[in-house]
Chains A and B, each alone.
Chain A
Amino acid sequence: MIHSTAIVRAAAVAGMLGVAAMAAPAQEMIPLPVKLPKPSFAGTPKDVPPGTTVEKPTGKPRPIPQVPKGTTNLALNKKVTSSKAPFDGSLDLITDGDKEARGGTAVELKPGLQWVQIDLGTPSRLLYILVWHYHVEPVIFHDVIVQVSNDPNFVEGVTTLFNNDQDNSAGLGIGKDREYFETNEGKLIDAKGVTARYVRLYSKGSTHRDPLNRYTEVEVYGLPAR
């Protein structure tokens, strides 16, 4: 008896919620408003194999995800800090909107594990993060880890959105994501709608000719806080 009452109550609640949902206007969806930079090398990177831990390049343009209308790049012209002062260039380059593979568009950070951190100003609902480290050449950056938090020190409430440090050499936990070759498409990371104010990105050198860490641009797509 008690059991059947509970079922009836649950059905009633579900019905009410369904009606409410039908009554609310459906959220309009749009393609992610990304403008890709020009490719600096033709086709897929040379020597890119179907690796077991490195992402397979599809050879086709990446599908553009749908996002709610009103989604914008929240990181544009926002303040950026870093683990150490840059080796060359300014941190502003990371959020200045210029993501072309030209000389002078990327900031260079010193060798070893380094991070950059973007302060979005207010906690916002984040949908996608798009990262271009350095797409002048097809290189692989090591230990790419992307975290978000409302704590500027990243001590509490840290959510890891991406981690390809499969051997835990950065010491932030073993990552399950794959390494990837840099291209003009950048690396698109699903932020899963998490709400956060700060975005922190780690890296630890690359297969490039110097041991520096580089960032051309980071875009953080989400819905501005009201």
Chain B
Amino acid sequence: MQRAFAAATLLIVAAALFLRLPQLDNRPMHGDEAVHAAKFRELWERGVYRYDPNEYHGPTLYYAALPTVELNGRRSFAETTESDFRLAAAAAGVLLALSPVLLRDGLGNGAAVLAALLLALSPACVFYSRYYIQEIFLTLFTVAAIGFGWRHAQTGRTVWLVLAAAAAGLMIATKETAVLAFAGALPAWLAARRMRTDGHRSGGESASLPTAGTEQERFTNAQHLAHSSPPSRAFRALLGLGVAVAVACLFLSGFGTNPAGPVDYLRSYLPWLGRAGETSLHRQPWHYYLTMLAWTHRARGPVWSEGLILGLGLAGAAAAFWRSGALLAGADARLARFLAVFTGVLTVLYSAIPYKTPWCALSFLAGFALLGGIGGQAVLAALRPSALRAAGGLALAAGLAHLGWLAWQTSFAYPTDGRNPYAYAQPVPDIVALGRRVEELSRHHPARARMVVKVFSADKYYWPLPWHLRRLENVGYWTSVPEDADAPVVIASPQFDEELTRRLDATHLMTGYFGLRPGVVMMLWVRMDLWEPFIKSRSHAPSSPGE
């Protein structure tokens, strides 16, 4: 059994890596990713992190990219690539897929493997594991906190408590919405605690972890924990709280470089609360996440559905509450109930907040995946006779294969496509061509990378343009046309065309449009003394249709 579990775990890791590592640069940087890369730059180059209560969330994302950027041998920000940053997220995504191992003796072997598979193959989990934003980290730390907390509850060992608290601290230091997970964890903990400490494990398969001791030892530990004296409980509560706060403060203060960071973090809830209810572009109906995950079909694209995860998760939740866990096939009823309440509350909270972005669904989707392991195991165990169970197993395998296929479509076939529900406010691929064009032009300019580039954007939403121009040292940004508009290269919103035509037409050529975001384009003006040598060099450019 141990070998089979280890083999299954290895296969899941391989699948998770296969879907997360290739072509990490196949999608232009999202505006948020580009902003985070710029924040990373401050930390990397100056060794300072300063928490901003109005924007950007916490710093774990930036610290997570330090090793990936360094390991790839980058010496300057100009050398960094999309893959350097997304590699950190991919690593977090693989760890998330592995996280059910921590809950193995609570879920049961089969359920743990199934939950890991669901996390490894979920299109949303895969897509946002290739995305340099906080969500995959927040989800990983949340599941890790549950997993370590479960291990502590089972064994009573302090090391698990410290790890759980550290994970909770990292949740806080990752994103302000960690508070929603804590809000979900409290009623979940109370619901699990209400159950009797004896008889909480259902019949059927029994799992064991070498580190967790024998079943009898775990039971004794659980009894001990349940009946431990108040000072002991108070000590553990204080220790956990202390570690969580210390870890959070460590990161939020930039490891002491900005002591005001933790206080600023608390102040951040004012702007974030305002944003949660704002009537902006991101305002969505309550069912936005659930309908997106259950069924999305746009134009002629594939039908996106994580219905398998939602359906199995609901089955797991039902099993958790059905006749004291009579349907649970080897899973611990307390853990099942904790996961059910936690996931339910988190889903309700995220759905109730008008401000919605698709990546926020990850937090509760991971809960559905863990419950899905329990649900799948329960459904299979309930099927009689064995032929029907075998058919159920085959159907589950087909569902998992479809999930993997969809994950591939999401991240490799439709990474920027509007039909992909997870590609949200995604800059268009044309922006990469704009960055390359400006770099190419700079090679024909005497100043090379120091060539002056002026960007006149009609509004401040020109990100991720700075990322795509990061290799040029003299790039300036304006939201109107300045007095001195002249530069070898001018990138401008079309709204400024008439003014630029009047002021630059004698010396420049508007060489074409480049897309920035859906429906937003920028003009590229090039001074003739630069355009002419550039175009001359391209007179015999090779052509290879079909490439």
Contact = CB atoms under 8 A, between A and B. Distances in A.
A123 interface: no
A202 B497 CA distance: 28
Contact of A53 (B512, B543, B546): B512
B519 interface: yes
Given A50-B501, A53-B511, A83-B545, A210 B535 contact: no
B521 A169 contact: no
Nearest to B301: A88
Contacts of B523: 49, 51
B542 interface: yes
Interface stretch (B85-93, B111-119, B412-420, B476-484): B412-420
Nearest to A138: B519
B401 interface: no
Contacts of A111: 429
B216 interface: no
A83 B509 contact: no
B515 A207 contact: yes
Given A113-B547, A114-B546, A174-B535, A50 B521 contact: no
In this complex, the member of B414, B416, B426, B515 whose beta carbon has the largest number of chain A beta carbons within 10 angstroms is B515
A210 B416 contact: yes
A210 B511 contact: no
A47 B428 contact: no
A207 B428 contact: yes
Given A205-B430, A211-B429, A166 B547 contact: no
B518 interface: yes
B300 A104 contact: yes
B513 A54 contact: yes
Nearest to A54: B513
A207 B545 contact: no
A174 B417 contact: no
A208 B545 contact: no
In this complex, the member of A52, A84, A89, A103 whose beta carbon has the largest number of chain B beta carbons within 10 angstroms is A52
Given A167-B538, A207-B513, A211-B416, A47 B426 contact: no
B545 A52 contact: no
B545 A113 contact: yes
Interface string A153-181: 00000000000001111111010000100
Interface in B411-444: 414, 416-418, 423, 426, 428-430, 433, 437
Contact of B414 (A112, A113, A207, A210): A210
B300 A52 contact: no
B418 A210 contact: yes
A194 B543 CA distance: 25
In this complex, the member of A49, A89, A169, A174 whose beta carbon has the largest number of chain B beta carbons within 10 angstroms is A49
Contacts of B14: none
Interface in B288-315: 298-301
Interface string A120-153: 0000000000000000011110100000000000
B505 interface: yes
Given A168-B535, A207-B514, A202 B545 contact: yes
B539 interface: yes
B518 A137 contact: yes
A169 B541 contact: yes
Contact of B300 (A88, A115, A208): A88
A86 B116 CA distance: 35
Nearest to A172: B543
A48 interface: yes
Contacts of B279: none
Interface residues of A, number: 42
B411 to A, nearest CB: 14
Given A169-B541, A205-B430, A47 B495 contact: yes
B344 interface: no
Nearest to A112: B547
A43 B509 CA distance: 27
Nearest to A113: B545
A46 interface: yes
Interface in B512-547: 512-515, 518-521, 523, 534-535, 538-547
Nearest to B425: A209
A83 B546 contact: yes
A166 B521 contact: no
B546 A179 contact: no
Contacts of B45: none
A50 B498 CA distance: 7
B510 interface: yes
B501 to A, nearest CB: 6
Contacts of B298: 103
A72 interface: no
Contacts of B437: 167
A212 to B, nearest CB: 8
B358 interface: no
B393 interface: no
Given A51-B497, A209-B417, 8 more contacts: A49-B498, A83-B545, A104-B299, A111-B429, A112-B546, A174-B535, A207-B521, A208-B428
14 contacts: A49-B494, A52-B510, A83-B546, A88-B301, A113-B544, A115-B545, A140-B515, A166-B512, A167-B437, A171-B541, A179-B512, A207-B430, A207-B521, A211-B429
